[in-house]
Structure 1
Amino acid sequence: MAIGDRVAELSAKLATQRAVIETEEATKNAFVMPFIGRVLGYDVFNPSEVIPEFTADLGTKKGEKIDYALVHGGAVQILIETKKITEPLRWEHASQLYRYFSVTNARVAILTNGQFWEFYTDLDEPNRMDAKPFLVLDLAAVDRTLLPELAKLTRESFDLDSVLNAAGELKYIGEIKRTLAAEFREPSEEWVRYLGVRVFSGKNFTRQVREQFAPLVEKAAHQFLTEQVNARLKTALGPDAALDATTPAEPQILAPTPPVPAQDVTPEATDVVTTEDELEGFRIVRAIVCSEVPASRIASRDAKTYFGILLDDNNRKPIARLWFNRSQRYLGVFDEDKNETRLPINDITDIYAHADQLRKTVAGYVRPAIPPASVPMG
């Protein structure tokens, strides 16, 4: 299984189990050990690969322990410190990692609470762990551009030199992306001024003008992202991205309804707009059903009134429909006869509550039905 599928599998597990995990030990069992074993490929029960409660003498300090040390090539290469998933990560949590970093061979240190994984090295000063991570992975919202770098830390593809060579660029790109994300969510005064003075036709960009521009910058940023995502998706899917443009328009129908067959693309179908919420819903469904099939087999087709999710890009194999273009949102699920039931949801993450049904639907497409036993003729 590719690393993207392994990460997606753990991401789906996180979504369904996070709410019931409260302690550090439960966090280790539910998310950290599976990450070490499933994602990074180390045998968590082999002490020559994974050393739990790793101890190294630190001058006068004796007996301090790091949660896990990963061994590759006979030497400790990666140190991992774990906090409970309910606790946001802070720099003080990395104090033991910081101290151990200089007295072991490890060049990579990881601080995690099961959801967030912060990867550190010594870019700023040799043998001294940096104060900021060079890579941050959020299992609740996986940035797939980071997966090739993560793959270099797996047991089967361990390439420390390549990781360290790319760490500087990754560190600053990551920080820039997080800064941009924060500005798009809530534009700062500096950001509003930076953009506003370039389009404002007046002489003075006063505080009153800035206050008028602040909501405009926020709205423009959201529209820009939506348009860029929609353009990228249409390029990736080709002209078939606008199929299924005719569907029942009544959003309150909750009884089973038959699936709508694919329609030919028409000029009128080209005004379909794919939203970020629809894409996030697609990613959630894909993460859920990748336990049944490779994630690469999950496809999408956007339409004017709903966002369709299909197996093998086959309209006869619908997995789900996202009815998000309305005040009350619905998740459309399918039974074995491909009848659709629309379930009301208040938040995108409510999709996880219907994970069993989604997996059952996909399993029905990939697992052949057992023929009934023949009855001998009398």
Structure 2
Amino acid sequence: MPTIQQIVKEIRKTLSSFDITKGIELSDNEAKTRMYLVEPFFESLRYNRGFENSNLVPEYDADFASLKGKKVDYAILFRNKPEIIVEVKKCSVKLNDKHLAQLNEYFNNTNDCKIGILTNGIQYEFYCRNNNGNNNGLHPTPFYVFDWENIDGSQLEKLAEFYVTEINTKDIIDSAQDSFFMEGFEEALFKELVKPSTEFVKAVFSHMNGKRLTENIEKQIRDLINSVSIKSALDRLIIEESSNANSGIITTDDELKVYHVIKTILAQHKQIETNSVGYKDFKGKFSIILDDNQKKKVCDLYITPTSHKIDIDGEKIEIPDIDSIVKLKKRLIDKALSLL
């Protein structure tokens, strides 16, 4: 079985050899966009188009409940079930919320569907279910966007997860949901610090040994919560966490950020206690460990201003962003469980 690197190389070669400019010129309506752009794209991932014994089925006649007689442009089938649906627009059309609403309607009424793709043949937006919303529709933000006119390495690594022999929709969705969770946490924390809630102010005042929070005191505390005080507290937090690790080495903000992402990932497994996850900082590397025991090492981080890498069981992997860390969720949890 080919490695991910080999698959990435194959996809890059196939997509790069395709005359995208010619394909765009020919795609002057939706039907031609499907023929000249969308189908070649999915062929690069080795999906077979057709009506029988295929996994890329055009004009899929799904059970749309109240939408009887309507068809989705494509369905990608696994074990004869439509786990991915694709809504196509003419290549000259800029994808918008109206198109997403249409995809969402199909998604909500298609049994077994797990991922929705919205495309104009050039840009491909991948959506999954919104677990944090009030309904079971698609998350309003795509978890992955592929732009055929601007291909880069990180795009292809993600795209390789959809290669026909590699795809695991459950793992892809879990990874997307973890990314949304981390982004949501950071956004919520930012909003709380920008405009502190009364509950937050009360918590701060309580740590000041305050007894009665008056309107004047609340205003004073709100005025003090700013970038200067937050930066000062952050510097102290870094020193404190460094001291707790007994390393004698100043731990960097980048190392702590990656550490907290991995700790959050591990803590989501019910068998891994949040408080058991810690770290030990060394000169040149940063180890994430369990139970304050260096023999229970989950991974090593090698973080510099120009390079972010993680070492799991001797394999070093680039982690340029949160998504690349979340992709390693299963490996990190499996490693941690093996140490328990």
TM value normalised by structure 2: 0.47
Question: TM-score, normalised on structure 1?
Answer: 0.42
